[in-house]
Amino acid sequence: MSTVLIKNGVIYDGTGDPGVSGDVLIKDDRIEKIGDLGVAEADRVIDAEGRVVCPGFVDIHRHCDAKPLNDPLFGKRELAQGITTTVVGNCGISLTPCPETDAGAREMYDFDEAVLGPMELGLPRTYEGYLEALKKTPLAVNFATMIGTGAVKITVKAFADTPYTKEELDAARALIEDAMKRGAVGVSLGIMYLPECYSSTDEFAYILEPVGRYGRVITTHIRGEGDSMVESVREVIEIARKAGCALEISHFKSCGVNNWKKQIHEAIALIEQARADGQDVTCDFYPYEGGSTALTTMLPPVFVAGDMTKALERLGTPEGVEEFRVSSRKPYDDWDNFCVTLGWERIIISGVTKEKFKPMLGMTVTDAAKQFGYPDPEALAAELMHEENGKTAIINMSMCQEDIDTVAKLPYSNIISDAIYAATDTPHPRMYGAFPKVIREYVGERHLYTLEEAIHKMTGLPAERMKLAGRGVLKEGNFADILVFDPQKFTDHATFQDPAQMADGLDYLFLNGKLTIEKDQWVGEAHNGVLLTAE
């Protein structure tokens, strides 16, 4: 038995209530008592005078699925910004399920690398195997998992652009049923991405039926976040209604200059109506004006035609480059073409695998094409995708702050990072700083939130959304995931220009009752997380 007494802090319990002065007594992995505890005895006493004491941050949207299994340094960036719990398997992209054949797995890993990072063939291929691997692995943070319907579809029918057959629908639903049975906290959709963009509302509703039956949630990257954003929100609300499950709209935003300050309000009206009709619909956002994803998201589905491998090969031919040039300059009714709605001048190259392209990191596709002698941005984009086999990562400067603030103020919006793990020295700054950025900017500088509101949206609210029992709220009997910091000093340093900068100012971080960070430094092995599963 071990005990720690945190005295004289200002306790923000994660429920949204204002802070109150008091003490917190930790016993083993739980919160034993909260209040004015006087001279209670403990193995260690920490004076938190002038400090915030709050739950560890719960990041329900992060793409670190493979990192505990292949990166021994995983956790440093996360813990430094106060993240104690993360949920993986987002945007339809998950490590499992995965095709049984090595060729199929390699195709999926190459497609996912710009989001999940480099992966080798020795990784687990079933959800059961993934959980078993995680159970055997020291975890730097608490780890909850979903499976993605993109991974499900690739496993069942590769990147085919044809509808599911009845047998394939049943196979897809069986994979989701298995994940629900084994404790997945939800299922994610990535309808914008290949091959899910070929799926219909009714197909999604059919394969997702187990999610509703188990009382879990679907989180969804909608079909289009640009011109078709409102219709895309309508679609996912309908999918959730038909499947009978709760809905979390991932990184809720309106992209494209012509859509700013208009579409977000129409989409919110749809959400509000669904909620008024009794549907459980919420959303989340990250506190930046730029997003991050794979360059292959700029490939029109008509160009891919159900075969990603052949599409990437075709981009290495003059005919393929010209076909891509023509197809990428057209608007589509059923697919948001960011080549048009954003333009290459707003697409930043953020992650590459080959040395020859590294001088382009941090540049827009337009500027890099000019500087390095390409005839146009499409020619450079085609060469990147072809030579890097689709692994190039990008940042798209697609949003306006006014729209972000509108979403931020919704009482049911959660704060996420949406950090992706492409192998690069120039990641999106949200990898390093999303949560302390909210404390610094949204609370301290712009006063968009009170401190208790911000903490609630990073702790109690997301923990409740994903039904993470005993997490996200400082309450007697709950798990002792606790942060202690001075809100004037706890801050982010990562910017788009210089993103690989650690947050600092964290005095103490307790994870499952164990001191894990003290004065910004890891303590001991610092692998005190646990695997979380749905009950």
Q: What is the DSSP letter of 345?
A: G
394-414 tens-digit pLDDT: 999 999 999 999 999 999 999
- What is the torsion angle, in degrees rounded to the nearest 10, for the CA atoms of residue 136, residue 59, residue 243 and residue 230? -150
Residue 58 has pLDDT above 80, yes or no: yes
- How big is the chain, counted in residues? 535
Query: Which of 521, 414, 391, 453 shows the shortest CA–CA distance to 86?
Result: 414
Per-residue pLDDT at 79: 97
Three-state SS string across 420-467, please? CCCCCCCCCCHHHHHHHHHHHHHHHHCCCCCHHHHHHHHCHHHHHHCC
Q: What stretches of 36-107 adopt beta strand conformation (E)? A: 44-47, 52-55, 57-59, 83-88
Q: What is the pLDDT of residues 490-504, one digit of tens each?
A: 999 999 889 999 999
Residue 334 in this model has a pLDDT that exceeds 90? no
Please provide the average confidence, as pLDDT, over all residues in the chain.
96
pLDDT of residue 336: 84
- Report whether 139 contacts 193 (CB < 8 A): no
Token reading at 302 = 């008509």
Q: Give dist(CA 33, CA 490) in Å, integer.
A: 26
Q: What is the mean pLDDT of residues 199-222?
A: 98
User: Rounded CA gap, 211 and 240, in Å?
Assistant: 10
Please give the Cα distance from 156 to 167 (Å, whole number). 10
pLDDT at residue 276 tops 80 = yes
Rounded Cα distance, 1 and 132, in Å: 28
pLDDT in the model for residue 430: 97
How does residue 6 score in pLDDT terms, banded at 50, 70 and 90? very high
User: pLDDT at residue 1 above 80?
Assistant: no
472-525 tens-digit pLDDT: 999 999 999 999 999 999 999 999 889 999 999 999 999 999 999 999 999 987
User: 419 vs 296, 367, 422, 432, 483, CA distance in Å?
Assistant: 18, 25, 10, 8, 21
State the pLDDT at residue 27. Answer: 97
Q: Is the pLDDT of residue 71 over 90?
A: yes
**How high is the pLDDT of residue 500?**
94
CA distance 158 to 101: 11
Q: Which pLDDT belongs to residue 40?
A: 82
> What pLDDT score was predicted for residue 116?
97
Q: What pLDDT does 526 receive?
A: 79
Please state, for a pLDDT cut of 70, what percent of the chain lies above it.
100
Asked if residue 30 has pLDDT above 90, the reply is yes
DSSP string for residues in 228-289: THHHHHHHHHHHHHHHT-EEEETT----SGGGTTTHHHHHHHHHHHHHHTT--EEEEE-SSS
Rounded mean pLDDT, 70-98:
97
Token pair 């960070």: residue: 517
Q: How far apart (Å, rounded) are the C-alpha atoms in residues 134 and 184? A: 13
Give pLDDT tens digits for 235-262: 999 999 999 999 999 999 999 889 999 9
